[in-house]
Structure 1
């Protein structure tokens, strides 16, 4: 029987499972991943949703309304945190601590047939996962519109994002996490706060030299021709990394399988994001698919710009300098 209804579609994808197979072996890792997916799937039933199917290390579910879908996504993250906490116990596999999850939701007319679901909302939710960072929840404007005001306030806009296979871009919002400080950004030195908010950011890769102001956010760096900053290199994912504007700073999030690496200054230590995020400050180099020291990996030079006191950037092999 075919049924067509308005639905909120949720996709969840578990990351870090590859490391489990490397450390635990196939049999035990399969058991852990299956158990973890089964655990987070309980959040679907708890919140009145319908589990459509599991997808190896992920799942798909549908909900009557957006609020239940968001409630379920939040619950999934809570359940995964419990799994990660077990990895800190004595004798537990360190791979458990590396487990992360991405969740994406879209809303629209869905065709339910033969126990499966089809439609534009299904396609959009599935492909939004490409743009989600570790433990992020992304939603479309249609999902946001169905939320009460107190829940809407927990989301911030990422503006229009080009989604693979869709001609029209999608207005995407991300669920903000409670502020815990920017640990990643400060591991290798203090963030240099300017007296005013940045006006823009400059990116240079080969002859692709562009300046983006805050109105251009988010910037997607990737191999896809739909990426905001297109880097045609085989080591770069279609949507490799994303630069957001939030709280008066630029934030870089790795979305890739090969990793994103950041070096601040001309000779600073290298920060490996690996599906994580950091605040961009000053100037430096972003390595896509390999650290900046890897001659084969594309390296994008960046500078956070304050137009009142920053001179144009000129590149050198080891980093960035200013004219003076």
Structure 2
């Protein structure tokens, strides 16, 4: 049996962060078992979408998840896979919200951030407990983009970096949101709201003013 060792390698990866909105409000009045069942049902649905598009779930933290496209196995279209997964995740949440409404439960929102960059990927932790994961500025930016979905004026459920769109082979409808400063970088990063595929219906709460990006 081959021994698993600490260490990593540099590789280009597309990182997706998603986080539920208003889940605390939904969980009020629920017993812990029911709350956990709802959360596990949500994660099962989202993880299935990530895996369907060739990604892997790196970790769950509370009601958030982090997924990787390009590690441990890379594909030429990792950016597209991540973008398609994000769009399907938002659609799936809309369907789950309908189910929860029928049970007289509050609905929840989601924020998703996606970035592509060179990161360090490998087994990290202690010699007794290792986890395969990725670290680096590219990961931090993806997390920050997810946080930016909370910005009211953006009105965006999915925010992606220009680096990810530059790698995408499909054409997507997007709305340019501006630029964000990245720690340690002199040139700011362009960010965009992801509205859908070019021939896909725009979600009702998103602007019709979009730019076709290839």
* TM-score between both structures, scaled by the size of structure 2: 0.75
- Deviation beyond 4 Å, 4+ runs, structure 1: 165-168
CA drift of 1:167 comes to: 5.7
1:188-207 CA distance string (max 9 Å, x none): xxxxxxxxxxxxxxxxxxxx
Unpaired stretches in structure 2, ≥5 consecutive residues: 1-6, 71-77, 124-131, 197-201, 210-214
Distance in 2 separating the partners of 1:148 and 1:140: 15
Aligned residues: 179
2:92 maps to 1:75: no
Q: Is contact 2:8–2:122 with CA below 8 Å preserved after alignment?
A: yes
- Structure 1 pair 135/87, CA: closer, same or farther in 2 (3 Å)? farther
2:15 maps to 1:21: no
Q: Is contact 1:47–1:71 with CA below 8 Å preserved after alignment?
A: yes
Unpaired stretches in structure 1, ≥5 consecutive residues: 183-244, 248-324
CA drift of 1:15 comes to: 1.3
Determine the structure 1 residue equivalent to 2:167. Answer: 146
Q: Is contact 1:106–1:142 with CA below 8 Å preserved after alignment?
A: yes
Alignment of 1:219-298 (within 5 A): 247=209
Bigger relative contact order, structure 1 or 2, given CA contacts below 8 A and separation 6+? 2
Determine the structure 1 residue equivalent to 2:97. Answer: 84
- Structure 1 pair 93/24, CA: closer, same or farther in 2 (3 Å)? farther
2:130 maps to 1:119: no
Alignment of 1:104-253 (within 5 A): 104-114=113-123, 115-133=132-150, 136-148=157-169, 150-151=171-172, 154-162=173-181, 168=186, 169-176=188-195, 178=202, 180=204, 247=209
Instruction: Give the secondary-structure state (helix, strand or coil) at the position aligned to 1:41.
Output: helix
Instruction: Give the secondary-structure state (helix, strand or coil) at the position aligned to 2:168.
Output: coil
Q: Is contact 2:14–2:69 with CA below 8 Å preserved after alignment?
A: yes
